[in-house]
Amino acid sequence: MLFDYAETSPWFSHLFLFPHPFVMYFLRQTVDGTGRTITSPNYPNNYPSNQRCSWIIQALNPEATLEVECDDFDVTDCKDRMVIKENRKVMATFCGTGKQSYKSTGNRIVIKFRTNGSNTGKGFSCTVRIPESTVTSSTTDTCQCGVANPSRIVGGQEVDPKNKYPWQVGIMYNGGSNYWCGGSVINNKYILTAAHCVKGDDASSLVVGVADHDMSSTTDDVPGVTDLKSVEQIIIHYGYGSNGYDYDIALLKLKETLDLSQYEQIRPVCLPADDSQTYEGVMAIASGWGTLYSGGPQPSTLNEVSVPILAPSCPGMSGITANMLCAGLQEGGKDTCQGDSGGPLFVEENTKYTQVGITSWGFGCAGENSPGVYARVSKFLPWIISNTADATYCQ
């Protein structure tokens, strides 16, 4: 499976010290050797002069390397050139004509293409992939994302069987008894949740419940698996708080690394691969321990509900930004509610589940023409990856 993301926003270019727009891709290992193709501007026609282009390409597996193959390369004037960097050090410079190739020493490269000359060439088409030799890593053989365990939510039902969605977690205060927000396992060290759930809290005051189903009972706990994990660090998106519920996303770094391959009750959810996907019309699942109706009782067991994802404009709703998505029925009756915040909204893609939203806000619960609003996960992929660089992602 290929995991990629294109990013051109100014804040991210400042973060990585690029003064001009660039594209960022994240790659997962693929047995069939597929990869990401990058091309020069206007390819296969001649590229324009005075261009500055950059691509940041990173393998999600920190042990992987990258391979660049340029089967078509025509940069005749060597005033124009392609440069490949690792750790800010120039590792290769290409110009002229003919095939070019490069093999990295690490899991991240930066490719820059600069044109100065007036005599431009056809340019290039290059494929970046993870070599097959690195696909045999034990983490990719035994650790998979988005794999469910098959056989506040309003209008939903109790999750059956328990631990069906092994990425689901609950957040509570240390010494507490109820989950007041949800979250999801995305790798072996971090939980994805909503910023408004943890804003103003100290990491030491929080615990995360993993592999749990009935939060009021221990009789259904999985021995050695169901547990409350301590939180080492809270990372809130820097954009949160300046514009209502925009940028409502946060990460919780756990003190203890999760074993994502030994127990089926703890697995990560997959992250979306394509930011151009709106998922409009797709049925999604939301899960949590939230109240059964606005101001109502909180169930002790994990509930789930299926709702359709609406158009990006979210007709009839105000305060919607590009960082959000809406899901719900026009007639109401099914929705997330108080206590479900921070939990995942996920869809099935190629037999695996991908998290597309984080439960964020809404006007009441399950009202007519009043869908739930979720943080759109695909908009935050660079932020997520850059803040979880010390973690291992499953394939």
Residues 6+ apart with CB under 8 A from 128: 25, 27, 35, 36, 37, 38, 57, 66, 67, 68, 109, 111
Burial class (CB in 10 A: 0-12, 13-18, 19+), 21: middle
Among 40, 341, 370, 378, the active-site one is 341
Report the Cα 265 to chain-centroid distance in Å.
21
Annotated catalytic residue 214: no
Tokens 């929080």 — which residue? Answer: 206
CA distances, 143 to each of 61, 262, 309, 391 (Å): 11, 9, 29, 13
320-341: burial string, b at 16+ Cβ within 10 Å, e else:
bbebbbbbbbeebebbbbbbbb
220-242: burial string, b at 16+ Cβ within 10 Å, e else:
ebbeebbbbbebeebbbbebbee
Strand 36-39, strand 123-129: pairing: antiparallel
- Cis peptide bond prior to 161, omega within 30° of 0: yes
Rounded CA-CA distance 272/274 in Å is: 6
Among 137, 196, 360, 378, the active-site one is 196
Instruction: Fill in the DSSP letter of residue 214.
Output: B
Annotated catalytic residue 213: no
Among 74, 248, 335, 340, the active-site one is 248
Of the candidates 35, 18, 15, 13, the one whose C-alpha atom is nearest the C-alpha of residue 26 is 35
CA distances, 342 to each of 154, 185, 259, 317, 328 (Å): 16, 12, 22, 20, 17
Residue 371 in contact with residue 333, Cβ under 8 Å? no
Positions marked catalytic: 196, 248, 341
